[in-house]
Chains A and B, each alone.
Chain A
């Protein structure tokens, strides 16, 4: 019984404490989890062992809370992470017509629906079916990744070229953004090859060697754009009801669950890619489904990927969170799995209840402080964190990543192309020619 209370307290503490961090734009949960891992290892080095019943539920609470509450900065501060890519435009639309709170809550309802989907639908069947499917699919992952890459690049469409003078000017107008997308993908891929083969980050903190690049590719560009752009947020209003119904929720769970689930299960594929594929597969055009579906997708992707590590017989390491936990603890029994499922349920409930007051509080802050200032503070936190963990080298990598991450934003292509950082090198490695390419680059 003592274990029960320890787990409950830990998951509650993780959820409540992390809700503050979740509201900060651009601060990814895996970055904070990295600090937590360092702290746990530091304590262990001093002879103070932190039991898994404490840190695992706590980390679960952090991931669950972040995947739900982080909707607030995504919608209200316009600094989404990569997996919330598609909520930017619809979310910003809500914000720009004074309905930011409603947009946030619709996404939050999606996250809650995602929690139900994960706990009530996926969790009971996962131990029986996922190990079998993993066994069947594990030899096919490489070509699936290549198909995904092809789809990402080919589904980028020319934006322009309809008007103006014929010739190169018109050609450039049409293909400029596509070229920017391909350049982004290639540059990010090159960065991935460098970091995965010869990361300049110190080997002593190698578990975070991709972190500065991700911060640069995704977090910093948005903070920078928020700071330099002249956009003002119009007055926001709150509401007691949401313009959704059961049909919309079910359709959102269908598309978001599929996208998030695919991303959680497949290696390297993230929520944004999963959302893109599921969006095309499910052909849901309704804007509310789009917004809510991203709530589902984000939750299922982040939390599901973490949960899969604990599924008996599967123990799949997907996502930074799972990899970090694996360095501290290897799940051994069904009891661990039940602990995780329970923790997810408790944390999801708590997080959802916190979203409304936190969203209102954030709106009040935006009223009081210009959100460009909030973005400046967030940027400062991110920079300090990157420096603290990886030093000057990490900051340099983040700066280069920022350059690449700004390309799609400024040239009108998809930020998804930045995922070339993992997709390209890993797909090459899985196909057996990653070493050859690394050799061409002089990185062997």
Chain B
């Protein structure tokens, strides 16, 4: 039969040299590895090797896949230190064991993010919408200070590093121990802290349907009464919500301020638990036995006690004070973070309230881990540290993150920019590069930059110059307020970019809306 076919088949040009099994015995076309002609459907007999390889491939694919699956299933993900991450580890699936540096933020898409640090570096964690909902449901939304163990896929670029949570199953959260406090002791100086309070629920108000207001619950103990607020998510988590009114409960709250007023927010509904009569009695007895005064604060200054309780003048710190522990108060002018993996410290430039004197404050990653509110440009900080002199320059070395405290995130009360110093835009030229100037004008359409924005500023005479605002230097709240058509006063430095003169806004509250 095969001989007959080969006698009658039509061999196409160029196919004469092919072995029989490469061409169709019926139509003569090239069929390659196929055993059925794709043109006429005729069977093409192959050598045994090719038929065998077909089933060998099936075997390899299925058995191999099963082995690969088993290998992956029982593989333990490596525990990696953040500081050891390298560019070649992009997309690596790893485990992290660290501390949440920030509270989890909810994104507009419903996902979440927070920063994690393990002593060798920090990384941003992304949580998908579904995972975030699951974490909320199970009361595992991380807050600053909580211990976190997680697994995820790393994404690294030369500027950013992040990790995407792989599964909520692998997310282990150990809440940072919170102090139990009396309601009357909860004050604004605890802003950012999480504490446990307990008391009698005297009132409980649900928001009206369709309202955007939160739930509110009034809690009373022997020191006073406070209102605790929370949202639907937390409400859903509360186990015995029907018996809440009139019961004595314990809950975990986050202390914050809203419109200048103290606000107590329930961290999660799962933390609301009833207090038994015995517990309440024991607690009251303990409270009665304990002195009314607060326990002395732990000394985190690592043996270097603060010798002066008053603030040292920033300009008054000199080289001969080397080794002394001083306490200063000033506004953050700029924050320079070290490069990823670097052992260099974070450098914060602190300016006196009048803006005339500056001091560099240095702290290392280990210290940064426990800072409640990280220094940001424009914010007022109270910092205690040791005077250091390096290469002839005086700086303040901070050994404990507890010695860096936010005093105020509000802008300075006086005008940030002295409008009387304003000068016309047409007076700016390349010869003035590096000079400090004050301009007054109207902002044009913004142009987003990586890490900032630039606006054309047109003064009263109609002359325009580009003004650059960097996120690391100008407070974010101020930057977000800027808009096209807004009249502003800007304090900045003249520079040249691509041959054109521009002005880079100074650190801090260097732009002042005039409308």
Assembly CA distance A228 to B21 (angstroms)? 12
Instruction: Please give the residue numbers on chain A whose beta carbons come within 8 Å of chain B beta carbons, in ascending order.
Output: 37-38, 41, 92-93, 96-98, 159-160, 162-163, 187, 190-191, 194-200, 203-209, 224-225, 228-232, 234, 313, 323, 326-330, 332, 396-397, 399-400, 402-404, 406-407, 409-412, 432, 435, 438-439, 441-444
Contacts A400-B68, A406-B53 given; indicate if A204 touches B89 (C-beta within 8 A): yes
| B206 located at the interface, meaning its Cβ lies under 8 Å from any Cβ of chain A in the complex | no
Q: Does chain A have a CB within 8 A of B187?
A: no
Contact of A229 among B32, B92, B166 (CB under 8 A): B32
Q: Which chain A residues border B392 with CB–CB below 8 Å? A: none
Instruction: State in angstroms the CA–CA spacing of A323 and B155 once bound together.
Output: 10
Query: Which residues of chain A are near B128, meaning CB under 8 Å?
Result: 432, 435
User: Are B34 and A412 closer than 8 Å at their CB atoms?
Assistant: yes
CA distance A444 to B166 in the complex (A): 7
B90 CB contacts on chain A under 8 angstroms: 206-207, 323, 327
| In the complex, chain A residues whose CB is within 8 Å of the CB of B154 | 206
Q: Spot the interface stretch: B58-66, B285-293, B303-311, B360-368.
A: B58-66
Q: Say yes or no: A198-B73 contact (C-beta < 8 A), given A160-B36, A313-B448.
A: yes
Known A396-B68, A444-B166; judge A231-B130 contact (CB<8 A).
no
Are B61's CB and A187's CB within 8 A? yes
- Chain B residues, Cβ within 8 Å of A432: 128-130
CB distance from A389 to the nearest CB of B (A): 10
A204 and B88 within 8 A (CB): yes
Question: How far, in angstroms, from A194 to B90 measured CA to CA in the complex?
Answer: 17
Given contacts A97-B14, A209-B91, A406-B57, contact A187 B65 (CB under 8 A): yes
Smallest distance from the beta carbon of B450 to chain A beta carbons, Å? 6
Q: Is A198 in contact with B75, judged by CB distance below 8 angstroms?
A: yes
Do A400 and B89 have beta carbons less than 8 Å apart? Answer: no
Apart from A187-B61, A327-B87, list 5 A-B contacts with CB within 8 A.
A229-B22, A231-B30, A323-B90, A400-B61, A403-B59
B80 at the interface (CB under 8 A from A): yes
Residue of A nearest to B130 (CB): A432
Instruction: Indicate whether A200 sits within 8 Å of B58 (C-beta atoms), given known contacts A234-B14, A444-B169.
Output: no
Contact A96 B131 (CB under 8 A): no
Chain B min CB distance to A252 (Å):
25
Residue of A with least CB distance to B168? A435
In the complex, are the beta carbons of B21 and A230 less than 8 A apart? yes
Question: Which of B156-164, B232-240, B253-261 interfaces with chain A?
Answer: B156-164
Compute how far the CA of A361 lies from the CA of B18 in the bound complex, rounded to whole angstroms.
Answer: 23
| B61 neighbours in A (Cβ, 8 Å) | 187, 400, 403-404, 406-407
B54 contacts A411, CB within 8 Å?
Answer: yes
Contact A96 B34 (CB under 8 A): no
Q: How far is the CB of A382 from chain B (nearest CB, A)?
A: 17
Which 7 pairs between the two chains have the least Cβ-Cβ distance? A403-B60, A206-B92, A403-B61, A400-B64, A406-B57, A444-B167, A203-B92
Q: How many Å from the CB of B481 to the closest CB on chain A?
A: 23
Q: How far is the CB of B360 from chain A (nearest CB, A)?
A: 27
Knowing A203-B92, A327-B158 touch, does A400 contact B60 (C-beta < 8 A)?
yes
Give the chain A neighbours of B30 by CB distance below 8 A.
92-93, 96, 231
Residues of B whose CB lies within 8 Å of any CB of A are 12-19, 21-22, 30, 32-34, 36, 38, 41, 47, 49-50, 53-54, 57-62, 64-65, 67-69, 71-73, 75, 77-78, 80, 86-94, 128-131, 153-154, 156-160, 166-170, 448, 450
A393 to chain B, nearest CB (A): 8
Q: How far is the CB of A338 from chain B (nearest CB, A)?
A: 12
CB pair A41 B158 closer than 8 Å: no
Chain A residue contacts of B68, Cβ below 8 A: 191, 194, 200, 396-397, 400
CB distance from A56 to the nearest CB of B (A): 12
What is the distance, in angstroms, from B353's C-beta to the closest C-beta of chain A? 36
Contacts of B86 in A (CB 8 A): 41, 204
Chain B residues near A323 (CB, 8 Å)?
90-91
Q: Is the CB of B18 within 8 A of A230?
A: yes
Cβ of B18: which chain A residues have Cβ within 8 Å of it?
A: 230-232
* Residues of chain B lying within 8 A (CB to CB) of residue A190: 65, 69
Closest chain A CB from B352 CB (angstroms): 34
B31 → chain A, closest Cβ, in Å? 10
What B residues does A200 contact at CB under 8 A?
68, 71-72, 75
Taking a contact as CB atoms under 8 Å apart, the answer to whether A435 and B22 are in contact is no
B157 x A203 contact (CB < 8 A): no
**A95 closest partner in B (C-beta):** B14
Q: Which of B38, B50, B157 contacts A330 (CB 8 A)?
A: B157
- A409 and B33 form a contact (CB under 8 A): yes
Known contacts A203-B93, A412-B36; A327/B73 CB under 8 A: no
Most buried by A among B54, B129, B168: B54
Q: Are A203 and B78 in contact (CB under 8 A)?
A: yes
Residue on B nearest A195 in the bound complex, by CB? B72
Smallest Cβ distance from A173 to chain B, in angstroms? 8
Question: How long is the Cα–Cα vector from A162 to B43 in the complex, in angstroms?
Answer: 13
Q: Closest CB-CB distance, B381 to chain A, in whole Å?
A: 31
Checking B49, B75, B88 against A207 with a beta-carbon cut-off of 8 angstroms, the contacting residue is: B88
Question: Closest residue to B170 on the A side, CB-wise?
Answer: A444
Q: Are A404 and B88 in contact (CB under 8 A)?
A: no
A-B contact pairs, 9 of them (CB 8 A): A92-B30, A96-B14, A163-B41, A203-B92, A209-B92, A224-B53, A225-B32, A403-B57, A403-B64
Taken together as a complex, chains A and B put the C-alpha atoms of A191 and B65 apart, in Å, by: 7
Q: Are A231 and B22 in contact (CB under 8 A)?
A: yes
Chain A minimum-CB-distance residue to B36: A160
B489 to nearest A CB, angstroms?
A: 29
- Which of A206, A232, A439 has most chain B Cβ within 10 Å? A206
Residue of A nearest to B448 (CB): A313
From A313, A332, A439, A441, contact of B169 by CB (8 A): A439
Q: Are B167 and A439 in contact (CB under 8 A)?
A: yes
Q: Is the Cβ of A194 less than 8 Å from the Cβ of B69?
A: yes
CB distance from B154 to the nearest CB of A (A): 7
Which among A162, A206, A332, A406 is the interface contact of B88 at CB below 8 angstroms? A206
